[in-house]
């Protein structure tokens, strides 16, 4: 495309060439315009009509525009689509015959947005940086809206992938060659090119944080986390175009001090979203999150992602929850107070990036006013956690900031500074005088109107105002000839004439000048107030942390009371002993009482539990219930059980269901084997493994053999606690022969009248039936199909088949041979009816019918 050489377009192309990876919003008057490829790319996303400059000429340039006052909504639309947006605003006033200056004032990306249309109040929005080296992998990540900035180093790319998937950043900066052609192991991450550093990594960081060396952050200049942090900081500076005053320190992300949850476990346990609908409703978070503030909502997510490993830390949280449960005044007093708390953590982020509004500071001031009452509630607190929180909320920590906001900010400031009434009356002398001129006009106008009525003798003379003509005198047509010669005609209407006078014009100019000056003064004063708040940002962050912890602990206490959860006992032993445990999510969704069950896992005689039972009997729920109770205990929550003793678990692994990954060319069985291999390579004696079916993606004999080998390996070479649900009844033999392996079953009851009744109770012993046909009947299968299935099942279980279908096994085709046809016996011998779902059984029967 040929670029036009008009001054305006020359300016545009210069800016565009500096931001080739972004869609440029170019300010033209009251609109933002997009040109060329930016317009054609953005128009379908934003549902805009494409127009063109120089239409029907060789120099035609596509263009699309949006009103500047609605820009945030359109920016949000592009950001949600993963686009980067560069805002090119006018940076000089318009002058006659001279093009105004324009420059990019900010860049909005998925990982750096402040838009309320994109951000979720109870979720962090991280931007991350990934710096791989030969021996280690540096990671840095930051939520620019809250000021949280972390670094860490991990030994393997696999661990880096697990951490990054857990953090779920919107963007990950890395080397250009990796971003363009990532290794398969990290190809599913949102990788983008990292910016070039303007300084060496160490200098960039020490200059911004105003420190002599990185030692104060526990960082080593030679560690790859330093280059990751520097690239991230550079990127944030490049996009925000501000000082980022709220980024005051870097924290070490101690990933070894919390349970490392991989993506598969987070998904299979449905911690945040359900697998079927990807909705929050029906997840563990949906059940346990009753927080009242956005800050508490974000913290409970972080706790859920990072279950603790330190016994004392867990006990600290549990003791605080117990104190809340035993002190009804806490809940009665704190819950209504927390509902009034604003998101001061993100307000601090807006202060640090010069985006804060007058209304934001008003909400912050209102929050500070609530703190004394919250602090007073903890005056007699005994738990260590609450004593620490109380210290953070002492008035001396924030009194200076409250005084500042009370003294300077008006009682009820607007959202936008252009709306006026931002600064308090009596704070600034010149501002007060100008306000008198601007707001005291009603008295002057009324007096002047009365003077003109007496002078002209026109009783119905009125002084009016509109935005087009300003102030004017209006009289009826019949009285128009009675006005003095000093009146200057301004407008003629059907029934009236409008005039101005030199005195009225002088007054108008005075008022308008006052309003312009007021706006200018208020803008300057508000900017100064914002700057005065910056030294208090660490205090705001400290208060936000305290409030969020109160919120989460109170949420746990509320759950304990309302859902009848109990305090678990945390030990360093390897035992998991749960009495009358319940699945927290299923229990809440049921209209009937949940059937509780016991779980006993230890390294002496219950290392492995092989669980058999019918489809729909509750095997999967039992497995997940155990994992969720362990996880809830280690985040400091009471648990859905009558009693629970939890030996701290370092990791929870899950292998659940049968799925394929067609996008990566992986079959169901390959996915199963990769997940199982990952577990075997990474599980320790302190881990908990959940196997909910294994080997379903291959033949029955292969599946049994692999499951047998894995269980034997776990028994002989580790003490990893394992729950293994299966339809392979052959595995029951392991529970009878291995010392630390036990058989358990989910009980059913059969009778002729009601058929199969699922009791959902787990008891010692194995069960050698899956009741697949019975489940098919419950699912509503037609009676003829059920009868046919029973007949075929009986034949298969008796080990016989019609003589004409029997073939010599030696004549069966191998994997590498070509067969002309497949006999029915081949199909039957290679099919395990016990592992079939009702639908699979129906499909199998239909296939058999085709060959008869």
Q: Indicate if the pLDDT at residue 733 is higher than 60.
A: yes
The larger pLDDT score, comparing residue 181 to residue 755, is at: 181
Q: Indicate if the pLDDT at residue 665 is higher than 50.
A: no
Matching residue, tokens 């305290």: 546
Q: What is the pTM of this model?
A: 0.85
pLDDT of 818 reads 40
Average pLDDT over residues 378-390: 90
> Domain 7-108 sits in which CATH superfamily?
DNA repair protein MutS, domain I (3.40.1170.10)
How is domain 127-257 classified at the architecture level of CATH?
2-Layer Sandwich (3.30)
Q: Indicate if the pLDDT at residue 446 is higher than 50.
A: yes
SS (H, E, C) 743-762: EEEEEEEEECCCEEEEEEEE
Q: Indicate if the pLDDT at residue 809 is higher than 70.
A: no
pLDDT of 811 reads 43
- CB of 474 closer than 8 Å to CB of 497: yes
| Fold observed for domain 569-770 | Rossmann fold (3.40.50)
| CA distance linking residue 53 with residue 62, whole number of Å | 7
Q: Indicate if the pLDDT at residue 528 is higher than 60.
A: yes
pLDDT of 760 reads 87
Q: Where in the chain is the domain with CATH 3.40.1170.10?
A: 7-108
Q: Where in the chain is the domain with CATH 3.40.50.300?
A: 569-770
| CA distance linking residue 462 with residue 195, whole number of Å | 64
Tokens of 211: 């420190």
Span 357-367, pLDDT tens digits: 999 999 999 99
| CA distance linking residue 393 with residue 381, whole number of Å | 14
Strand duo 741-751 + 608-612: pairing: parallel
DSSP conformation class of 495: S
Query: For residue 628, what is the enclosing H or E element?
Result: helix 619-634
Span 303-315, pLDDT tens digits: 999 999 999 999 9
pLDDT band at 798 (very low <50, low <70, confident <90, very high): confident
Matching residue, tokens 């003294």: 407
Q: Indicate if the pLDDT at residue 835 is higher than 60.
A: no
Please tell me the least confidently modeled range out of 186-195, 386-395, 655-664, 715-724.
Answer: 655-664
Cβ-Cβ contacts under 8 Å for 236 (sequence gap 6 or more): 112, 127, 142, 144, 244, 247
């Amino acid at each position: 495309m040929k670029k036009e050489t008009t001054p305006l377009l020359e300016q545009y192309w210069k800016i565009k060439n500096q931001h080739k990876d972004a869609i440029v919003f170019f300010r033209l008057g009251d609109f933002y315009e997009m040109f060329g490829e930016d317009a054609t790319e953005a128009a379908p996303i934003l549902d805009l009509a494409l127009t063109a400059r120089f239409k029907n000429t060789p120099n035609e340039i596509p263009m699309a525009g949006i009103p500047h006052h609605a820009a945030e909504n359109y920016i949000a639309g592009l950001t949600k689509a993963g686009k980067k947006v560069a805002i090119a605003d006018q940076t000089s006033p318009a002058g006659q015959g001279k093009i105004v200056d324009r420059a990019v004032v900010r860049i909005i990306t998925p990982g750096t947005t402040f838009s309320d249309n994109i951000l979720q109040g109870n979720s962090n929005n991280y931007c991350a940086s990934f710096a791989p080296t030969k021996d280690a992998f540096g990671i840095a990540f930051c939520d620019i809206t809250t000021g949280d900035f972390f670094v860490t180093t991990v030994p393997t790319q696999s661990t880096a992938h697990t951490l990054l998937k857990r953090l779920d950043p919107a963007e990950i900066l890395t080397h250009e060659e990796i971003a363009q052609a990532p290794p398969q192991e990290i190809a599913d991450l949102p990788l983008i090119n990292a910016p070039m550093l303007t300084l060496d990594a160490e200098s960039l960081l020490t200059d911004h944080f105003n420190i002599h060396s990185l030692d104060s952050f526990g960082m080593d200049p030679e560690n790859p986390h330093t280059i990751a942090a520097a690239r991230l900081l550079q990127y944030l500076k490049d996009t925000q175009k501000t000082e980022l005053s709220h980024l005051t320190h870097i924290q070490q992300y101690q990933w070894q001090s919390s349970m490392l949850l991989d993506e598969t476990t987070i998904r299979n346990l449905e911690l945040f979203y359900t697998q079927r609908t990807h909705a929050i409703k029906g997840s563990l978070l949906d059940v346990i999150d009753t927080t009242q503030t956005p800050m508490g909502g974000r913290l409970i997510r972080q706790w859920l992602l990072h279950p603790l490993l330190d016994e004392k830390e867990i006990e600290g949280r549990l003791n605080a929850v117990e104190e809340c449960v035993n002190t009804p005044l806490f809940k009665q007093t704190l819950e209504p107070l927390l509902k009034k708390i604003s998101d001061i953590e993100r307000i601090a982020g807006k202060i640090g990036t010069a985006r804060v509004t007058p209304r934001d500071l008003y909400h912050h001031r209102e929050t500070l006013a609530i703190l004394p009452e919250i602090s007073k509630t903890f005056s007699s607190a005994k738990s260590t956690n609450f004593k620490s929180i109380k210290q953070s909320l002492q008035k001396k920590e924030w009194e200076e900031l409250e005084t500042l906001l009370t003294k300077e900010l008006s009682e009820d400031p607007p959202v936008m500074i252009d709306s006026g009434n931002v600064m308090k009356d009596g704070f600034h002398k010149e501002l007060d005088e100008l306000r008198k001129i601007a707001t005291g006009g009603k008295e002057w106008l009324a007096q002047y109107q009365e003077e003109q009525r007496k002078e002209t003798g026109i009783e119905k003379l009125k002084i009016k105002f509109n935005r087009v003509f300003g102030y004017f005198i209006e009289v009826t047509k019949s009285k128009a000839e009675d006005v003095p010669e000093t009146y200057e005609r301004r407008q003629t209407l059907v029934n009236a004439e409008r005039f101005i006078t030199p005195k009225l014009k002088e007054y108008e100019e005075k008022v308008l000048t006052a309003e312009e000056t007021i706006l200018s003064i208020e803008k300057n004063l508000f900017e100064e107030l914002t700057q005065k708040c910056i030294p208090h940002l660490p205090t705001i962050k400290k208060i936000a942390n305290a409030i969020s912890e109160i919120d989460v602990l109170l949420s746990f206490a509320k759950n304990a009371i309302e859902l009848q959860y109990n305090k678990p006992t945390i030990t360093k032993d390897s035992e998991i002993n749960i009495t009358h445990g319940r699945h927290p999510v299923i229990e809440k969704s049921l209209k009937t009482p949940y059937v509780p069950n016991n779980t006993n896992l230890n390294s002496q005689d219950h290392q492995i539990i092989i669980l058999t039972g019918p489809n729909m009997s509750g095997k999967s729920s039992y497995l997940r219930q155990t994992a969720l109770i362990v996880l809830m205990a280690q985040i400091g929550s009471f648990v859905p059980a009558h009693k629970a003793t939890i030996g701290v678990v370092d990791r929870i692994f899950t292998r659940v269901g049968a799925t394929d990954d067609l996008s990566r060319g992986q079959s169901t069985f390959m996915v199963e084997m990769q997940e199982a291999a990952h577990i075997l390579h990474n599980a320790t004696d302190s881990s908990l493994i959940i196997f909910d079916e294994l080997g379903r993606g291959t033949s029955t004999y292969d599946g049994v053999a692999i499951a047998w080998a894995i269980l034997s390996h776990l028994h002989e070479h580790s003490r990893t606690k394992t729950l293994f649900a299966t339809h392979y009844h052959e595995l029951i033999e392991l529970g009878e022969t291995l010392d630390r392996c036990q058989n358990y079953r989910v009980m059913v009851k059969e009778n002729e009248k009601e058929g199969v009744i699922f009791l959902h109770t787990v008891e010692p012993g194995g069960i050698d039936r899956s009741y697949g046909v019975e489940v098919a009947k419950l699912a509503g299968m037609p009676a003829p199909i059920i009868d046919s299935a029973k007949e075929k099942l009986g034949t298969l279980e008796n080990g016989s088949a019609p003589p004409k279908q029997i073939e010599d096994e030696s004549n069966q085709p191998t994997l590498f041979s070509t067969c002309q046809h497949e006999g029915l016996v081949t199909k039957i011998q290679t099919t395990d009816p016990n592992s079939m779902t009702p639908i699979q059984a129906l499909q199998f029967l239909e296939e058999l019918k085709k060959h008869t």
